[in-house]
Structures are given as C-alpha cells and as structure tokens.
Amino acid sequence: MSATLSLSRRFLLRVMGAEILAPALRTLGRGLLSIFTLHRFTDPDLGVVGHDPALLRYHLAYLRRHHYRLFSLTDVVRQIENGGTGGWGGGAPAVAFTVDDGYAGFARIAAPIFAEYDCPVTLFVTTGFLDGQLWLWWDRVTYLFKHTQRSSLVFRLGGEERAYRWSTSGERDEAQHDVLRRLEWIDAPLREATIAGLSRQFDVEVPASPPPACAPISWDEVRRTAKLGVTFGPHTVTHPILSLASEDVCRWEIEESCRRLRQETDAWVPVFCYPNGEPRSFGQREVEATQRMGCRAALTTVRDYAAARHARPQGALERFALPRFPYPDDTPHFVNVVAGLARLKQRLHRLHGGVLRPGLTSA
Ligand SMILES: [Zn+2]
C-alpha cells in the first residue's frame, strides 16, 4: 500500500513540473506569496556543494515564462502592511528570494543569475563575518574534522561525554554531522569553548581567516552587486541563536548588525532575519529590538506561505515572524510550492490536528 502511495506521489510530483500544466497551476496559486531561503551555491572550483546555478536559472526562467510576480522584500513589506489591497489577493502567485549568511559565492555565482532574470533578491549578512572578525562556526567544525589525522573523539558538552570512532571518511562524516547537530542549540560562549576543545583534541589549529570556500562576500562586492539590484538585510553580527543569548548580547547583535549594514550600503532593507529561524530561536524580546532599529518585518524558517489570498492586514507579531520555504533543489517540489500546492498539504495536516505555524499570534 505504502509503495503504491509513494509511486503515485512520485508520479504526481513529476507531472507537476510539466510545462503543459503550468497555466493551470498558476491559477491555483493566485494571491499566494512564497518566500524562499537559499544558502550556498555549487562551486566545483572551491569544492562547495550547494544550490545548482543551472537549476536556479531554469526556475527563474519558469517563473518569468509563466508570469509569476517576482517580489522584492520591499514589495513584500508594502503588500503585507496593506493587507493585500492594490491587487494582492487576485493577482498571479508572488515569489520572493532570500539568501542567508553572506558567503562570497553569492556575488560570484548567484547575483548575476538573479540579475539576468531581473529578479529581486535579498542577501542577509552576518556583519562580523564580512568584517573579518570571525568565520561561521559550522565551517570551523567542518574544517577541524577535515584536517585532523585522528580517528576518534571524546566530545564533551556541558556535563555530557560522547565517544566517536571512525575508519572511513563516511564514518567521519557521520561523527561530524552528529557533532554539528549537538552544537546547534547551545549559547555561543559554550559553543566556542567546545570548538576550542575540539581543536586541541584534533591537534588542528583553526586559521584566523576562512579558506576561500568558506569566505564572506566583501563590502565592496556588496556595493557592486547592489548595482545589479540586490538588496541586503541584517542577520546579526556573529550568528548566535538570539533566544539563548543574554539581554545585552541579544540587543547588541541586532543593533550592531543593523548599524554596520547601513554604514556600508544604501541598498539595505528594513527586514531582519533571525539566525536558525525556528520559532524557539526568537520571541517578543527579539521582535521589539528589531522594531526599535526601524525594521518593519522579520523572517523565520517556518515553512509556510508569507501571505494568502484575501489576507487581512497582519499584526506586528505576524510581520516579525514571516515564514519562508527552504529552496527546493528539484523542479517538481519548486513548482509544488510556488503554485500553492504545499498549502493543500498543510490544510490536510491541520485537519489532522498538526501544528505548522509558530505560537506567535497578532496582539
Ligand atoms: Zn543564517
């Protein structure tokens, strides 16, 4: 039975990408807004594995060919503040693109592709990363695993101790994956101390600057790509999970990242992006701090449409917890989201008592 379901699901997904269905699918998605989150882009020269530039080009061509609306985050904020007046509800489905963290590959690979299709895109930058003060913690952990000669690890975190042993690169990757997962939901100071311990145990020093594969976009490239139409948003200074940080650190991460971004470019948007972005990674405190910095919306990684047809004006808390879809790396899933079919699935999920949205509701 489940094999049959999986077969029909696969067939349905394949059909979804078919050109002949595109006009009907676009009608189905009228009035919906999908915001996508992207991260790294594949760069064989540097060994970076990420989104395929050719597929991105294909998807942008698809959206253009079938007359989807391509929104900038400024359009998104304006439409959401207006509650869809001015043609929001009845129009073709709208799509917006965001790229998180601020890697160099964005300028080299992605920005020219978005420009080619005249498609707005916003890069969310970790400002301390661009300022050369740090490289992102998951890249440092990956670097340590890649360069160590050791084949075992006793990983200590808090009061817990865990032993790993590997003899193949596959087993080493599994250990690395598990360590990365365990390091995600802890406050930054403890994480830094743990990474320092890892470095000692592996007998590998983390260089002060990242290797080219993990390097940030420079502020000069920010200004250069701004001329292509790219806009930029703040994504904190050091990429901590804000809800785990102290009051002072949380405020500084938000204020300083907004300040640095506005100092370096005029092409900034008043939209904040929470690191990690799960509902538990931010709350009222973070919403208020971003509002104090003049932000008019903020983005999460909760998977849902940011606006639906007949939407009423959204409350402040909803605007500061806008959902996004992870960018699907295949066409059927991509079409599934932009044409609104992911919504049907979510309705079914809700009917069965599931909860997909964060606990935040408008006040
Ligand atoms: Zn991020």
pLDDT tens per residue across span 104-137: 999 999 999 999 999 999 999 999 999 999 999 9
Q: Separation of 91 CA from ligand 1 center, angstroms?
A: 31
Q: Is residue 15 part of a domain?
A: no
Q: Separation of 252 CA from ligand 1 center, angstroms?
A: 17
pLDDT of 146 over the 90 cut:
yes
Q: Between residues 317 and 325, which one has the greater pLDDT?
A: 325
The whole-number average pLDDT for the span 10-18 is 66
Q: Is 230 buried (19+), middle (13-18) or exposed (0-12) by CB count in 10 A?
A: buried
Q: Separation of 168 CA from ligand 1 center, angstroms?
A: 30
On whether both 122 and 188 belong to a single domain, the answer is: no
The whole-number average pLDDT for the span 267-280 is 97
Length of the chain: 363
Q: Is residue 10 part of a domain?
A: no
On whether both 218 and 241 belong to a single domain, the answer is: yes
For residues 310 and 68, what is the distance between their CA atoms, to the nearest angstrom?
18
Longest dimension (CA), the chain: 62
Radius of gyration of the chain, Cα coordinates, nearest whole angstrom: 21
For residues 214 and 110, what is the distance between their CA atoms, to the nearest angstrom?
16
Q: Separation of 235 CA from ligand 1 center, angstroms?
A: 7
On whether both 227 and 324 belong to a single domain, the answer is: yes
CB atoms within 10 A of CB 36: 19
Expressed as residue numbers, the domain containing 161 is: 137-202
What DSSP string describes 159-188?
A: TEEEEEE-SSHHHHHHHHHHHHHHHHTS-H
Q: Separation of 275 CA from ligand 1 center, angstroms?
A: 5
On whether both 189 and 222 belong to a single domain, the answer is: no
On whether both 42 and 120 belong to a single domain, the answer is: yes
Tally the domains of the chain: 2
On whether both 120 and 150 belong to a single domain, the answer is: no
Q: Separation of 10 CA from ligand 1 center, angstroms?
A: 31
Q: Separation of 86 CA from ligand 1 center, angstroms?
A: 33
For residues 304 and 294, what is the distance between their CA atoms, to the nearest angstrom?
25
On whether both 256 and 297 belong to a single domain, the answer is: yes
Q: Separation of 231 CA from ligand 1 center, angstroms?
A: 16
- pLDDT at position 26: 77
- pLDDT at position 234: 98
Q: Is 207 buried (19+), middle (13-18) or exposed (0-12) by CB count in 10 A?
A: exposed
Q: Which residue, of 163, 178, 202, is where some domain finishes?
A: 202
Q: Which residue, of 183, 202, 221, is where some domain finishes?
A: 202
96: closest CA among 49, 60, 52? 60
Global pTM value = 0.89
Q: What is the tens place of the pLDDT at every residue in 322-343?
A: 999 999 999 989 999 999 887 7
Q: Separation of 31 CA from ligand 1 center, angstroms?
A: 28
